[in-house]
Amino acid sequence: MEGVDHLADERKKAEFNVEAMKIVWAGSQHNLEVSNRISKLVADDPAFRKDDRTMLPRKELFKNTLRKAAYAWKRINELRLSEEEASKLRFYVDETAYTDLHWGMFIPAIKGQGTDEQQRKWLPLAYKMQIIGCYAQTELGHGSNVQGLETTATFDPHTDEFVIHSPTLTSSKWWPGGLGKVSTHAVTYARLIIDGKDHGVHGFIVQLRSLEDHRPLPGITVGDIGMKFGNGAYNTMDNGVLRFDHVRIPRNQMLMKVSQVTREGKYKQSDVPRQLVYGTMVYVRQRIVADASCYLSRAVCIATRYSAVRRQFGSQNGGPETQVIDYKTQQSRLFPLLASAYAFRFVGEWLEWLYTDVMQRLQANDFSTLPEAHACTAGLKSLTTSVTADGIEECRKLCGGHGYLCTSGLPELFAVYVPACTYEGDNIVLLLQVARFLMKTVSQIGTGKQPVGTIAYMGRIEHLMQCRCNVQRGFAELSADLVEAAVAHCQLIVVSKFIEKLQQDIPGEGVKQQLEALCGIYYLSLLHKHQGDFLATSYLTPKQSALANDQLRALYSKVRPNAIALVDAFNYSDHFLSSILGRYDGNVYPKLYEAAWKDPLNESVVPDGYHEYVRPLLKQQLHTARL
Ligand SMILES: CCCCCCCCCCCCC/C=C/C(=O)SCCNC(=O)CCNC(=O)[C@H](O)C(C)(C)COP(=O)(O)OP(=O)(O)OC[C@H]1O[C@@H](n2cnc3c(N)ncnc32)[C@H](O)[C@@H]1OP(=O)(O)O
Ligand SMILES: Cc1cc2nc3c(=O)[nH]c(=O)nc-3n(C[C@H](O)[C@H](O)[C@H](O)COP(=O)(O)OP(=O)(O)OC[C@H]3O[C@@H](n4cnc5c(N)ncnc54)[C@H](O)[C@@H]3O)c2cc1C
CATH number, residue 236: 2.40.110.10
With 70 as the cut, is the pLDDT of residue 623 above it?
no
Distance from the Cα of residue 618 to its chain's centroid: 50
Element (H, E) at 188: strand 185-194
Q: Per-residue pLDDT averaged across 406-433, rounded? A: 98
Q: Distance from the CA of 400 to the center of ligand 2, in angstroms?
A: 32
287 lines ligand 1 (CB under 6 A): yes
Q: Residues 6 or more apart from 553 whose CB is under 8 A from it?
A: 328
Residue 182 lies in a domain: yes
Query: Which pLDDT score is estimated for 99?
Result: 98
- Specify the ligand 2 atom closest to the Cα of 101: 8
Q: Distance from the CA of 226 to the center of ligand 2, in angstroms?
A: 17
- How many Cβ atoms are within 10 Å of 508's Cβ, its own excluded? 16
User: Closest by alpha carbon to 416, among 138, 122, 177, 188?
Assistant: 177
- 201 DSSP β-pair partners: 191
- Cα distance between residue 216 and residue 444, in whole Å: 52
With 70 as the cut, is the pLDDT of residue 621 above it?
no
Query: Which pLDDT score is estimated for 363?
Result: 87
- How many Cβ atoms are within 10 Å of 84's Cβ, its own excluded? 12
Query: Which pLDDT score is estimated for 464?
Result: 72
Q: pLDDT tens for residues 124-143?
A: 999 999 999 999 999 999 99
User: Closest by alpha carbon to 26, among 279, 346, 299?
Assistant: 346
Q: Distance from the CA of 281 to the center of ligand 1, in angstroms?
A: 5
Number of domains within the chain: 1
Q: Residues 6 or more apart from 80 whose CB is under 8 A from it?
A: none
Please list, residue by residue across 221-233, b when 16 or more beta carbons sit within 10 angstroms of its beta carbon and e when fewer do: ebebbeeeebbbb
With 80 as the cut, is the pLDDT of residue 624 above it?
no
With 70 as the cut, is the pLDDT of residue 448 above it?
yes
DSSP single-letter state for residue 621: H
- Cα distance between residue 354 and residue 276, in whole Å: 16
The phi, psi pair for 594, rounded to 5°, reads -60, -45
- Cα distance between residue 503 and residue 497, in whole Å: 10
Query: Which pLDDT score is estimated for 460?
Result: 87
Query: Which pLDDT score is estimated for 465?
Result: 66
Please answer whether residues 449 and 440 qualify as being in contact, where contact means their C-beta atoms are separated by less than 8 angstroms.
no
The phi, psi pair for 261, rounded to 5°, reads -120, 125
Query: Which pLDDT score is estimated for 468?
Result: 66
User: Closest by alpha carbon to 303, among 40, 15, 586?
Assistant: 586
Q: Distance from the CA of 144 to the center of ligand 2, in angstroms?
A: 5
Of all protein residues, the one whose alpha carbon is nearest to atom 40 of ligand 2 is 429
Sequence-distant contacts of 499-502: CB under 8 A, at least 24 apart? 500/350, 501/346, 501/349
pLDDT, greater one: 447 or 367? 367
Residue 245 lies in a domain: yes
Task: Classify residue 492 by burial, with Cβ atoms within 10 Å: 0-12, 13-18, 19+.
Answer: middle
Please answer whether residues 228 and 253 qualify as being in contact, where contact means their C-beta atoms are separated by less than 8 angstroms.
no
- Cα distance between residue 606 and residue 256, in whole Å: 65
With 60 as the cut, is the pLDDT of residue 378 above it?
yes
Q: What is the pTM of this model?
A: 0.97
Residue 56 lies in a domain: no
Residue 160 structural domain: 134-270
With 60 as the cut, is the pLDDT of residue 216 above it?
yes
Q: pLDDT tens for residues 225-282?
A: 999 999 999 999 999 999 999 999 999 999 999 999 999 999 998 888 888 899 999 9
With 70 as the cut, is the pLDDT of residue 555 above it?
yes
Please answer whether residues 119 and 257 qualify as being in contact, where contact means their C-beta atoms are separated by less than 8 angstroms.
no
Residue 189 lies in a domain: yes
Please list, residue by residue across 134-162, b when 16 or more beta carbons sit within 10 angstroms of its beta carbon and e when fewer do: bbbbbbbebbeebeebbbbbbbeeeeebb
Q: Per-residue pLDDT averaged across 514-529, rounded? A: 98
> How high does pLDDT run on average in the chain?
96
Please answer whether residues 524 and 336 qualify as being in contact, where contact means their C-beta atoms are separated by less than 8 angstroms.
no
With 70 as the cut, is the pLDDT of residue 622 above it?
no
With 60 as the cut, is the pLDDT of residue 419 above it?
yes
Give the pLDDT band (50/70/90) at residue 509: very high
Please answer whether residues 248 and 158 qualify as being in contact, where contact means their C-beta atoms are separated by less than 8 angstroms.
no
Q: Distance from the CA of 182 to the center of ligand 2, in angstroms?
A: 23
- Pairing verdict, β 133-136 and 185-194: parallel
Residue 516 lies in a domain: no
Q: What is the CA radius of gyration of the chain?
A: 27
Residue 597 lies in a domain: no
Quote the Cα angle for 405-407-412, to 5°. 80
CA distances for 478 relative to 248, 346, 432, 439, angstroms = 46, 32, 11, 12
H-state helical runs in 79-223: 83-93, 98-101, 107-113, 116-127
Candidate list 139, 424, 509, 516, residue with the active-site label: 424
- Cα distance between residue 507 and residue 491, in whole Å: 27
The DSSP line for 543-589 is HHHHHHHHHHHHHHHHHGGGHHHHHHTT---HHHH--STT-TT--HH
- Specify the ligand 2 atom closest to the Cα of 189: 11
H-state helical runs in 399-445: 410-417, 427-445
Length of the chain: 627
288 lines ligand 1 (CB under 6 A): yes
H-state helical runs in 313-369: 328-363
Q: Per-residue pLDDT averaged across 599-620, rounded? A: 95
Q: Per-residue pLDDT averaged across 337-356, rounded? A: 98
Percent of the chain past pLDDT 70, that is, above it, reads 97
DSSP single-letter state for residue 369: T
Q: Distance from the CA of 133 to the center of ligand 1, in angstroms?
A: 20
Please answer whether residues 384 and 431 qualify as being in contact, where contact means their C-beta atoms are separated by less than 8 angstroms.
no
Between 370-398 and 279-309, two packed helices, what is the crossing angle to 10 degrees? 20
Query: Which pLDDT score is estimated for 1?
Result: 52
Task: Classify residue 252 by burial, with Cβ atoms within 10 Å: 0-12, 13-18, 19+.
Answer: middle
Pocket perturbation via mutation, ligand 2, pick of 102, 144, 436 by most ligand atoms within 8 A of CB? 144
Please answer whether residues 55 and 600 qualify as being in contact, where contact means their C-beta atoms are separated by less than 8 angstroms.
yes
Q: pLDDT tens for residues 219-232?
A: 999 999 999 999 99
- Specify the ligand 1 atom closest to the Cα of 177: 13
Query: Which pLDDT score is estimated for 626?
Result: 55
Residue 218 lies in a domain: yes
Give the pLDDT band (50/70/90) at residue 3: confident
Q: Residues 6 or more apart from 447 whose CB is under 8 A from it?
A: none
Q: Distance from the CA of 101 to the center of ligand 2, in angstroms?
A: 17
Of all protein residues, the one whose alpha carbon is nearest to atom 53 of ligand 1 is 278
Of all protein residues, the one whose alpha carbon is nearest to atom 20 of ligand 1 is 424
281 lines ligand 1 (CB under 6 A): yes
| CA atoms within 13 A of residue 36's CA, in its CB half-sphere | 11
Of all protein residues, the one whose alpha carbon is nearest to atom 3 of ligand 1 is 104
DSSP single-letter state for residue 611: I
- Cα distance between residue 570 and residue 294, in whole Å: 9
Percent of the chain past pLDDT 90, that is, above it, reads 92
- Cα distance between residue 594 and residue 605, in whole Å: 16
Q: pLDDT tens for residues 62-72?
A: 999 999 999 99
Clarify whether 161 is annotated catalytic: no
238 lines ligand 1 (CB under 6 A): no
Query: Which pLDDT score is estimated for 2?
Result: 61
With 80 as the cut, is the pLDDT of residue 492 above it?
yes
For ligand 2, residues with CB inside 6 Å are 101, 135-138, 142-144, 175-177, 234, 239, 419, 422-426, 428-429, 432
Of the listed ligands, the closest to the CA of 140 is 2
Residue 118 lies in a domain: no
Of the listed ligands, the closest to the CA of 436 is 1
With 60 as the cut, is the pLDDT of residue 311 above it?
yes
- Specify the ligand 2 atom closest to the Cα of 105: 8
Of the listed ligands, the closest to the CA of 385 is 1
Of the listed ligands, the closest to the CA of 277 is 1
Q: Per-residue pLDDT averaged across 303-314, rounded? A: 98
- Cα distance between residue 49 and residue 534, in whole Å: 50
